[in-house]
Amino acid sequence: EAGVAQSPRYKIIEKRQSVAFWCNPISGHATLYWYQQILGQGPKLLIQFQNNGVVDDSQLPKDRFSAERLKGVDSTLKIQPAKLEDSAVYLCASSLITLNTEAFFGQGTRLTVV
Amino acid sequence: DQQVKQNSPSLSVQEGRISILNCDYTNSMFDYFLWYKKYPAEGPTFLISISSIKDKNEDGRFTVFLNKSAKHLSLHIVPSQPGDSAVYFCAASAIRNYGGSQGNLIFGKGTKLSVKP
């Protein structure tokens, strides 16, 4: 079974530029999450989708971050404009059910904002 | 306000001995707890979980203990192996709907385990 696919693996941008990350969840997983992991911290949920609907985006900085889940499968996370403090690993995860009992994570995208 | 705390940033253990990783939580609404393992440059991998209706769950060399009154859980690895060297994250979830997403995982900061041969 293929795992959660994310791209790119690494991205370096200048502050005020925009960037987009892509995620392809495990086939059949209705729930998709984007987490932000800052160095030395645990992952923090940014947004959770159930199929193509948003379940929770309370911690998403909506003035600069946006996310969508196309047709309830793939998802993109965008940052525009990026700030230095956005430097982090962005992890995508998916699970079969909303209860998040076993979320499967992708390898993540390491973003460096300079 | 950190709801899930892993107070030991690192732990070093000799191969073959027991590794004990600790986790404390503050939110009494949490009713499901998970441990994830993370190698460098990889995403976290699910290891083991426990529901609040249990106080112990065992899977091979890994056992998780939950003490609800103390709001404390621990992960025991016996015997420890060099391949267990990784960062271990404790995570908690409120399966009951509370204030936000049902099932949002709240992670601790992680404990880096080093198992020496």
Q: Is residue A31 part of a domain?
A: yes
Query: For residue B111, is pLDDT > 90?
Result: yes
Nearest to A47 by CA among A32, A37, A28, A30: A32
DSSP 3-state assignment of A85? helix
pLDDT confidence tier of residue A1, bands split at 50, 70 and 90: low
Give me the mean pLDDT over the B77-96 stretch.
92
Which CATH number covers residue B28? 2.60.40.10
In this complex, the residue of B42, B101, B109 whose CB is nearest that of residue A42 is B109
- CB A90 within 8 Å of CB B25: no
Domain holding A64, by residue range, is: 13-98
Query: Between chains, do B101 and A44 touch, taking CB under 8 Å as contact?
Result: no
Residues 6+ apart with CB under 8 A from A37: A43, A44, A88, A89, A90, A91, A108
pLDDT digits (tens, 9 = 90+) for B39-75: 998 999 999 999 899 999 999 999 999 999 999 999 9
Domain tally for chain A? 1
Q: Is residue A22 part of a domain?
A: yes
Q: Is residue A17 part of a domain?
A: yes
Query: Between chains, do B108 and A42 touch, taking CB under 8 Å as contact?
Result: yes
CA B38 to chain A, closest CA, distance in angstroms equals 10
Phi then psi for residue B82, to 5 deg, are: -55, -35
Q: Is residue A51 part of a domain?
A: yes
Sort out which chain B residues have CB atoms less than 8 A from A55's CB and list them. 101-102
How much is the mean pLDDT over chain B?
A: 91
pLDDT digits (tens, 9 = 90+) for A13-24: 999 999 999 999
The answer for A 45-104 residues in CB contact with B (under 8 A) is 45, 48, 55-56, 58, 91, 93, 98-104
DSSP 3-state assignment of B12? strand
pLDDT digits (tens, 9 = 90+) for A53-83: 898 899 999 999 999 998 889 999 999 999 9
Domain holding B73, by residue range, is: 4-116
Q: Tell me what pLDDT residue B100 has.
A: 41
Which CATH number covers residue A50? 2.60.40.10
Q: Is residue A23 part of a domain?
A: yes
